[in-house]
Amino acid sequence: MIHSMTSFARCQAETDGLLLTWELRSVNHRFLETHFRLPDTLRSMEHPLREVLRKQIKRGKVDCTLRLEQQSGHDDISLNRPFLLQILDLLEQIRTEAPDIGSPTSMELLKWPGVLDETPGIDDNKSAITAIHELFQETLIELISHRQREGAQLSATISRRLDEIDQIIEDVKLLISSLGERLLTRLKGKVADLASLLDETRPSLLDEGRLEQEVVLLAQRADVTEELDRLSIHVEEARNNLLSPGPQGRRLDFLAQELNREANTLGSKSAVAETSRKAVDLKVIIEQIREQVQNVE
């Protein structure tokens, strides 16, 4: 069953006075692209979390955001002393090179990102780290479940469009079954119109044998049996892909391109107005399929 690339999941948990919140957002993308927004003290977790995600999702742009909030009674603010000392050391070097530059105030230093540690000791808190990993996996499961549900709806929509293509194929087959007779009638009408403009005493412009030969040539040029067969094969393959496991978006996109190619050929070979209209209807349906396929993993 196919999966959608568009979904959203949000999960929360509490641990050691912290409220953990994971938000995962997924949109369509040609390949798998992941972006993690984590507190600076937890950047070391990004690689293992990305590997967990890659094992479950193959395509899409996925944004993963972790938020940490101190619960009431645990709202003490601590100073990131190692980081502050590094900043002060750099300021001392700057004053040596450019003594005319003024020093920052204490408030300006406190506003520097990372000076105030809002998650004190979280990088050394094994229970909190474990909780973050577990909550991420829980959120990822919810995200995948959402992708599955939306994928089922996409599959139903695409299947309906494939049924419409099958109906058009049958309609065109019915039209071309009487194509020879219709072409003969049309040619006879044109010859009759031309004869009426000429002297009625003149001999017939074309004999029946020559007229039938012309009809055969026109019918051969307008034969779309091969295109209809390929359309049916592509439709059946698309149905198989909709029911197959694993990512199918690229395969379905390729089949949509091939369906469009056959529809173009069908339109170019059309010898009667009805077939031309069916070719236009077919291209509209295929374009609708292509739009939906862009969201398939």
Most confident of 60-64, 126-130, 214-218, 221-225: 60-64
DSSP state of 57: -
Distance CA 258, CA 261 (A): 5
Tell how strand 60-70 and strand 78-79 pair up.
Answer: unpaired
Query: Which residue has better confidence, 105 or 55?
Result: 55
Distance CA 203, CA 199 (A): 9
Most confident of 155-159, 179-183, 184-188, 262-266: 155-159
* Distinct helix (H) and strand (E) counts, the chain: 9, 6
Distance CA 65, CA 194 (A): 77
Residue-range domain boundaries for the chain:
78-110, 150-293
Question: What tens digit of pLDDT does each residue of 166-178 get?
Answer: 999 998 887 776 5
Mean pLDDT computed over every residue of the chain: 82
Distance CA 276, CA 171 (A): 12
Distance CA 242, CA 129 (A): 39
Distance CA 163, CA 166 (A): 5
Tokens for 109, please give them: 């230093």
Q: How far, CA to CA in Å, does 182 sit from each of 163, 168, 187, 216, 296?
A: 28, 20, 9, 12, 44
The model's pTM? 0.72
